Amino acid sequence: MIQIYDVYTARQSILQRASGLDKFYSTAVAEMVEKVFGSGVTPSQAVTEIVESVRKNGDIALQQWSKKLDQVTLNDFRVSPKEMLNAYDSLTAQEKKALKDARDRIRVFHELQPMPEWQTTALGGVLGQRVTPIDRVGIYVPGGTAPLPSSLLMSVIPAQVAGVGQCIICTPPSPHPSILAVAHLCSPVELYQVGGAQAIAAMAYGTATIPKVDKIVGAGNLFVTLAKQQLFGVVGIDALAGPTETMIIADSTANPKWVAADLLAQAEHDVMASAILLTPDLELAKEVQVEVARQLEDLSRANIIARSLRDCGGIVLTSGIDEAIILANDYAAEHLCLEVSNPQSVADKITNAGGIFIGDRSFEVLGDYVAGPSHVMPTGGSARFSSPLNVLDFVKITSIIALDPQTSMEIGQSAAEIADMETLTAHASAARIRQGENCV
């Protein structure tokens, strides 16, 4: 049963953001780390050991960790184009159409995103910015408890639209055929069956088999996230992704069956996924409770869903829609769904969300697969300051400065004065020497 909270209690519990990565440190994770790495070793220390071994020993370390952590012996990490093609050919016609529909909509959406390259002569000479794609990008596709070919689509297509030269994909050993099929559908790509922290380290440092990349994107488990955290600076990183989350604002006009289905879909991802409903309508809250319990009985991942809703989800009874909006902006959810009578008016007041799903026909599951925007969105409240994965994540902006002589002379004295304030005499001299003044 999903629980109903008052606002005060919700703020102290399900709306409370965990600091850092502490939320991931479950008893099960601690036990696994101790079993593999020894007593007293933290997940962060375990990841450091993995990363350092890959840095020093490359493919040999990858083989050792694959055997130790994934219980597989691999002599070749690379998945051939033929294997990808065979996986694609094994799909039904309906499955192929679904993946192509998703690919095409995601591509069209990202082709419409602007990559502003411009120049101006308004400030003297030529000033502007140049946009160039990143040379080589690594994309991590998690295996986990369910295959996620959609995550590959949502990451590789924006990179390709941006013009990235080479896309390197890592996913845990024995990848699901659907992931291989998507890799074929998005060719050319290179796919390697290496998972976890060792995959992140391999892409960051490079090995004899896996090329070194310039930036790594894509969500993963705790160990993937810790590896990205530790390797930031060695390689570019998109974000440190936490558990996925959906918040729904609904009023008395909402369909309780649909609201319940949306909560269940979110909770299905993981026991730590958050599915939260904000509503001022007690009757709706009770009806959603009943619908959640009824629909849960028929779902294959009922145990995961039940634990997710018990530990991380809930229904919050607000004083009105305005209070729900305040709570939503404070929480800054990855997905914010508006199932209210006038959803656009509520959307206009939302300032913090990875994606806003406006109206009950724009439900979040469509965003997961086929709507168009990347479903790789900011989690853990980071929607307050960051954005969904997009083409700008795969390019670099370079400033262009080509001043004319007159402008250079006019602003040179100001540069020298500021340099003097900073007591940087060589800076000041470099500005004044061009104006014929003594270097003193």
Say whether both 166 and 186 belong to one domain. yes
Residue 305 lies in a domain: yes
Give the residue from 201, 218, 239 where a domain finishes.
Answer: 239
Is 133:120 a contact under the CB 8 Å cutoff?
A: no
- In 3D space, the residue among 332, 325, 339, 324 whose CA is nearest the CA of residue 354 turns out to be 332
User: For 359, left (φ over 0), alpha (ψ -120 to 50), or beta?
Assistant: left
Domain for residue 376, yes or no? yes
Does residue 142 sit within a domain?
yes
Residue 22 located in a structural domain? no
Sheet holding 355-358, edge to edge: 4-6, 314-317, 274-279, 245-250, 335-339, 355-358
Share of the chain above pLDDT 70, in %: 97
Q: Say whether both 82 and 229 belong to one domain.
A: yes
Over the stretch 62-106, which tens digit does the pLDDT of each residue have?
999 999 999 999 989 999 999 999 999 999 999 999 999 999 999
Residues 149 and 267 in one domain: no
Q: How many domains does the chain have?
A: 4
Q: How far apart are the first and last CA of the chain?
A: 78
- Domain presence at residue 34: yes
Q: For 366-375, how does the pLDDT look when each residue is reduced to its tens digit (9 = 90+)?
A: 999 999 999 9
Q: Are 111 and 47 members of one domain?
A: no
- Quick one: pLDDT band at residue 440, thresholds 50, 70, 90? very low
Exposure of 91 by Cβ count < 10 A (0-12 exposed, 13-18 middle, 19+ buried)?
Answer: middle
Same domain (yes/no): 266, 164: no
Q: Which residue has the tokens 């074929």?
A: 184
Same domain, 355 and 410: no
Helix (H, G, I), strand (E, B) or coil at 98: helix
Range from 16-25, 64-73, 250-259 carrying the lowest mean pLDDT: 16-25
189 and 145 fall within a common domain = yes
Q: Read off the pLDDT of residues 382-409 as tens digits, 9 standing for 90 and up.
A: 999 999 999 999 999 999 999 999 999 9
Q: Are residues 111 and 231 in the same domain?
A: yes
Please check whether residue 378 lies inside any domain of the structure: yes
Q: What is the CATH number of the domain that holds 379?
A: 3.40.50.1980
H or E element that contains 190: strand 190-193
Residue 392 lies inside a defined structural domain of this protein:
no
Give pTM, 2 decimals.
0.92
DSSP H or E run through 131: strand 126-133
Domain check: are 50 and 91 in the same one? no
Question: Are 330 and 302 part of one and the same domain?
Answer: yes
Q: Same domain for 126 and 214?
A: yes
Q: Give the residue numbers spanning the domain of 253.
A: 4-15+243-384
Specify whether 228 is located in the same domain as 269. no
> Among 70, 86, 105, which residue terminates a domain?
70
Could you list the active site residues? 334-335
Q: Which of 191, 189, 190, 199 is closest to 228 using CA atoms?
A: 199
| Last-in-domain residue among 36, 52, 70 | 70
Calpha distance 339→57 (Å, rounded): 53
Q: Is 193 exposed, middle or buried (0-12, 13-18, 19+ CB in 10 A)?
A: buried
Q: For residue 317, tell me if it sits in a domain.
A: yes
